[in-house]
């Protein structure tokens, strides 16, 4: 590389030079800015004691100290990659794919990512249709889970993601098989006629390829009607490390992360823990206790203080008042319909109602004895129950339950 | 009634005179003792201003004030029942059934009931086989739920109650259809050869009858090998009020209350709320979100801070260290077996492992570039991975994943 690079070109190069979450690299950028960080990291200019001091201070500000803070050691890691840097080529590649590289300071840059502090991505490679901008973090929900989802998980994911996207939320996920794919698909299907961004997929590999290959059609559809993001540049393969770091972006860009199905050990739990450590809301969908695919969700309920969520309205509650301001929360009918006849009765009337026979009629004296109420209490109570349509009397002023 | 009655006879009478949780009656007993409370409540002796003052003070100590604290009004309620009091007959009835009336101060009286404070039962009518005494509250678990349980609920109840009873816990429930009956049955079945008290049923009616009739065989079996309890005397029918008050006894006598299945509105939730307000542990078993019979459990997880429990070992955890002291907790195999090859690797080794090809061999230089590690880092890391059996090399010192 020769000559001065722009901020965007510098960050394009740095996103290839540094692995995601390379905190020494991140600290170097904070300390001296992206352009100088690139010159230092590539040994174009030598690292001075003053620069090392600045980096150490930035790391200390974030509670990070110790051996790994040495720039010289980090440069041993970065060195082998310097020859492959080609930021102009990478930027041209993403442009050719109809995309762009977003960097901090851009209008479209998601402010919520700054909650990752030192570990804020260097940039976000993006494909797709941002329309009027990326969705507000308060109206974005991450829906994640097992790749080997069950029919149950697929069904619940479809219900929740569909209703969320249909009511103006953006469904964020990782573009993987299983729950991720069901979430993206339901969001796309729910908003066929709508504007806005139904869904965002955050990938662990460069955006010049669709991974996994079996989801190519889905990811193409997301590029057309939603957005696909990655912090690594075109050409980079997915690795376990990159998957794990990718999860922090999903968690940070969402007001709530919901795990629909996950095994006792599952990558989805990693996203969940990122959400919790960021102070984002965390929801888990319960399932049958015999289902290994729900064991991770139950673990989150037990160990991570996740909120039990069973439908989209409960997920919206998780997003808080800012996410809900634009709409009425719909409550499932079975949760309001079961209202019993005795609702709202005082204790005395409940005792009296219990004492009233169903078939034969009973005198007030007997009702007092059976109910444990005074005669006066029975008289007043019967009047109230009669008004409520719960008690009936015959011509002899005897009483029974009204049918 | 004539002549001086014993404490036990007085409480037998008072348990018929007062409805469960008649707090003015309870306060009267606290103020003057059971024998004098009976004489006052039956108007055998007149209520003085001093007695009224004492009762008002007891109620105030428990935060209860206001109109309903007047003894005169309460006596209007009690009056109609005075003529029916026959404590000797009731005590003879329970004796004939092989039972007894337990009262505070008895060796067998469950100390945990005192946590109900003013609302501690006047006495407990008991049938069955207490053996060496009622079980310790720390080793008692309430398992409750819907009467119209599903196959799922029955299966989970059977698993949990059976394993609890088989490992020395007493399973407490309400003797009803559905979850209650499954819990009692599993506890009895799990302990066919054991001593101890596998299960206790707390009824809302007198113990001279088996209610519901369809559970008669089960309740008879509990009388033989467990214990059946009620705070109301023989002959008293179950009412909604008595069911609701009965639930506080189930909650108080158990270290933990577990709701296996419950609808959005269910009596089991009442027991759960009693447990929570007593500071007892509360567990809820999750289920499919589409099952109306799990909606109440999910509600408890969301609203009542219930702990998600999926098996007996998690229920035992709820009971705390005192309940667990006698045994090792068994953990389900699927929760320990899923250990991945990369467990325990440091970040650098994880990056290196991800960089190693599966089929072809790769040079150290290439591995440094792909992994983002220094050459020295690659050298050291490969040595560690080789030791761990995760990396293999060929004669040219090239490397790939070990298969």
**Predicted-complex ipTM score:** 0.81
The answer for residues whose C-beta is within 8 angstroms of residue A149's C-beta and 6 or more apart is A157, A178, A179, A182, A260, A261, A293
| B264-320 per-position pLDDT tens digit | 988 899 999 999 999 999 999 999 999 999 999 999 999 999 999 999 999 999 998
Name the pairing type of β-strands B399-401 and A399-401. unpaired
Q: What are phi and psi of A95, to 5 degrees?
A: -65, -45
Tracing tokens 């991770």 back to the chain, one arrives at A296
- Between CA B246 and CA B116 the distance in angstroms is 12
Name the residue among A77, A84, A302 with its Cβ closest to that of B373.
A77
- Between CA B173 and CA B263 the distance in angstroms is 17
pLDDT at A182 over 90: yes
Identify all chain A residues contacting B265, using CB atoms and an 8 Å cutoff: 338, 340
pLDDT at B387: 79
Asked if the Cβ–Cβ distance from A239 to B22 is below 8 Å, we say no
The answer for residues whose C-beta is within 8 angstroms of residue A50's C-beta and 6 or more apart is none
Q: What is the CA radius of gyration of chain A?
A: 30
pTM for the full model?
A: 0.83
Query: Measured at the alpha carbon of residue B28, what is the angle toward residues B27 and B31, in degrees to the nearest 5?
Result: 85
Q: What is the CA radius of gyration of chain B?
A: 30
A276 CB near a chain B CB, below 8 Å?
no
Listing DSSP states for B154-204 in one string gives: HHHHHHHHHHHHHTTPEEEE---TTHHHHHHHHHHHHTTT--S--EEEE-S
Supply B19's token pair. Answer: 């409805």
| B18-59 per-position pLDDT tens digit | 999 999 999 999 999 999 999 999 999 999 999 999 999 999
Name the residue among B285, B338, B355 with its Cβ closest to that of A265.
B338
| B198-227 per-position pLDDT tens digit | 999 999 999 999 999 999 999 999 999 999
Identify all chain B residues contacting A338, using CB atoms and an 8 Å cutoff: 263-265
Are the CB atoms for A394 and A369 separated by under 8 Å? no
Return the H-helix or E-strand segment holding B227: strand B227-230
Residue B320: how many CB atoms within 10 A of its CB?
A: 13
- Between CA B264 and CA B271 the distance in angstroms is 14
Supply A130's token pair. Answer: 């941002």
B329 CB near a chain A CB, below 8 Å?
no
Tracing tokens 């502090």 back to the chain, one arrives at A117
A239 CB near a chain B CB, below 8 Å?
yes
Confidence band, pLDDT 50/70/90 cuts, at residue A338: very low
Supply B114's token pair. Answer: 């005192």
- Between CA B191 and CA B214 the distance in angstroms is 23
Identify all chain B residues contacting A156, using CB atoms and an 8 Å cutoff: 289-290
Closest chain A CA to residue B355: A239
Asked if the Cβ–Cβ distance from B287 to A285 is below 8 Å, we say no
Identify all chain A residues contacting B295, using CB atoms and an 8 Å cutoff: 310, 334-335
Q: Give the closest residue to B294 by CA, choosing from A333, A179, A308, A284.
A: A308
The answer for residues whose C-beta is within 8 angstroms of residue A349's C-beta and 6 or more apart is A381, A384, A385
Mean pLDDT of A147-156: 96
CA–CA distances in Å: residue A250 to residues A180, A206, A266, B381:
12, 16, 16, 30
Are the CB atoms for B113 and B252 separated by under 8 Å? yes
Identify all chain A residues contacting B261, using CB atoms and an 8 Å cutoff: none
pLDDT at A326 over 60: no
Q: What integer best gives the mean pLDDT of chain B?
A: 90
A289 CB near a chain B CB, below 8 Å?
yes
Identify all chain A residues contacting B353, using CB atoms and an 8 Å cutoff: 240
Mean pLDDT of B344-373: 86
In Å, how far is B303's CA from the nearest CA of chain A?
Answer: 9
Higher-confidence residue of A336 and A97: namely A97
In Å, how far is B264's CA from the nearest CA of chain A?
Answer: 6
- Between CA B239 and CA A354 the distance in angstroms is 6
CATH topology assigned to domain B347-401: Arc Repressor Mutant, subunit A (1.10.10)
Q: What architecture is domain A111-335?
A: 3-Layer(aba) Sandwich (3.40)
Query: pLDDT exceeding 70 applies to what percent of chain B?
Result: 92
pLDDT at A330: 45
Asked if the Cβ–Cβ distance from B310 to A287 is below 8 Å, we say no
DSSP-assigned beta bridge partners for residue A282: A257
Higher-confidence residue of B102 and B342: namely B102
A78 CB near a chain B CB, below 8 Å?
yes
Asked if the Cβ–Cβ distance from B310 to A298 is below 8 Å, we say yes
Are the CB atoms for A198 and A222 separated by under 8 Å? no
| B311-357 per-position pLDDT tens digit | 999 999 999 875 444 444 444 544 544 445 566 677 788 888 888 98
- Which of A66, A80, A290 is the mutation pick for testing B, counting most B CBs within 10 A? A80
pLDDT at B339: 47
Closest chain A CA to residue B286: A286
- Between CA A302 and CA A280 the distance in angstroms is 18
A350 CB near a chain B CB, below 8 Å?
yes
Confidence band, pLDDT 50/70/90 cuts, at residue A39: very high
The answer for residues whose C-beta is within 8 angstroms of residue A315's C-beta and 6 or more apart is A141, A160, A164, A256, A258, A283, A309
In chain A, residues under CATH classification 1.10.10.10 are 347-401
- Between CA B136 and CA B144 the distance in angstroms is 19
Q: Write the burial class of residue A221 (CB in 10 Å: 0-12 exposed, 13-18 middle, 19+ buried).
A: middle
B166 CB near a chain A CB, below 8 Å?
no
pLDDT at B142: 98
Are the CB atoms for A208 and A230 separated by under 8 Å? no
In Å, how far is B370's CA from the nearest CA of chain A?
Answer: 8
Are the CB atoms for A306 and A300 separated by under 8 Å? yes
How many Cβ contacts (< 8 angstroms) between chains A and B? 144
Q: What are phi and psi of A31, to 5 degrees?
A: -75, -40
Identify all chain A residues contacting B156, using CB atoms and an 8 Å cutoff: 289-290
- Between CA B149 and CA B145 the distance in angstroms is 8
Confidence band, pLDDT 50/70/90 cuts, at residue B116: very high
- Which of B68, B71, B75, B77 is the mutation pick for testing A, counting most A CBs within 10 A? B77
Q: Give the closest residue to A169 by CA, choosing from A148, A190, A144, A150.
A: A190
CA torsion A299-A303-A305-A307 (nearest 10°) is 10
Taking a contact as any Cβ pair under 8 Å apart, which residues of chain A between 17 and 76 contact chain B? 18-19, 22, 73, 76
Identify all chain B residues contacting A311, using CB atoms and an 8 Å cutoff: 289
Lowest mean pLDDT among A103-107, A192-196, B118-122: A192-196
In chain A, residues under CATH classification 3.40.50.450 are 111-335
- Between CA A14 and CA A82 the distance in angstroms is 10
Return the H-helix or E-strand segment holding A54: helix A49-61
- Between CA A353 and CA A365 the distance in angstroms is 15
pLDDT at A347: 76
pLDDT at B328: 44
Confidence band, pLDDT 50/70/90 cuts, at residue B191: confident
């Amino acid at each position: 590389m020769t000559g001065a690079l722009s901020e965007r070109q510098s960050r394009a190069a740095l996103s290839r030079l540094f692995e995601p979450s390379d905190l020494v690299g991140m600290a170097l950028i904070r300390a001296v800015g992206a352009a100088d960080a690139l010159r230092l990291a590539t040994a174009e200019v030598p690292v001075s004691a003053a620069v090392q001091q600045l980096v150490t201070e930035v790391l200390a500000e974030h509670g990070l100290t110790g051996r790994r803070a040495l720039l010289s050691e980090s440069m041993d890691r970065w060195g082998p990659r310097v020859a492959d840097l080609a930021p102009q080529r990478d930027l041209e590649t993403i442009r050719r794919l109809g995309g762009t590289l977003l960097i901090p300071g851009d209008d479209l840059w998601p402010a919520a990512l700054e909650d990752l502090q030192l570990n804020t991505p260097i940039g976000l490679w993006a494909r797709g249709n941002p329309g009027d901008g990326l969705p507000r973090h308060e109206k974005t929900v991450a829906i994640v889970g097992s790749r080997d989802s069950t029919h149950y998980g697929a069904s619940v994911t479809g219900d929740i993601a569909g209703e969320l996207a249909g009511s103006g939320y953006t469904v964020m996920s990782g573009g993987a098989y299983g729950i991720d794919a069901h979430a993206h698909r339901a969001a796309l299907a729910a908003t066929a006629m709508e504007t806005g961004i139904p869904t965002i997929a955050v990938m662990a590999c460069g955006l010049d390829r669709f991974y996994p290959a079996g989801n190519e059609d889905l990811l193409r559809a997301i590029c057309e009607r939603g957005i696909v993001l990655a912090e690594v540049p075109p050409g980079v393969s997915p690795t376990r490390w990159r998957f794990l770091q990718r999860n922090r972006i999903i968690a940070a860009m969402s007001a709530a992360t919901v795990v629909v199905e996950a095994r006792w050990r599952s990558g989805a739990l990693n996203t969940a823990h990122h959400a919790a450590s960021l102070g984002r809301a965390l929801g888990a969908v319960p399932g049958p206790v015999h289902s290994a695919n729900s064991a991770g969700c139950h673990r989150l309920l037990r160990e991570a203080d996740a909120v039990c969520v069973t439908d989209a309205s409960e997920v919206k509650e998780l997003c808080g008042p800012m996410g809900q301001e634009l709409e009425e929360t719909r409550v499932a009918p079975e949760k309001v319909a079961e209202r019993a006849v005795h609702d709202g009765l005082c204790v005395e009337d409940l005792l009296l109602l219990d004492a009233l026979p169903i078939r034969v009629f009973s005198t007030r004296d007997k009702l007092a004895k059976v109910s444990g109420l005074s005669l006066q209490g029975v008289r007043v109570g019967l009047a109230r129950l009669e008004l409520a349509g719960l008690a009936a009397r015959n011509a002899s002023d005897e009483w029974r339950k009204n049918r």
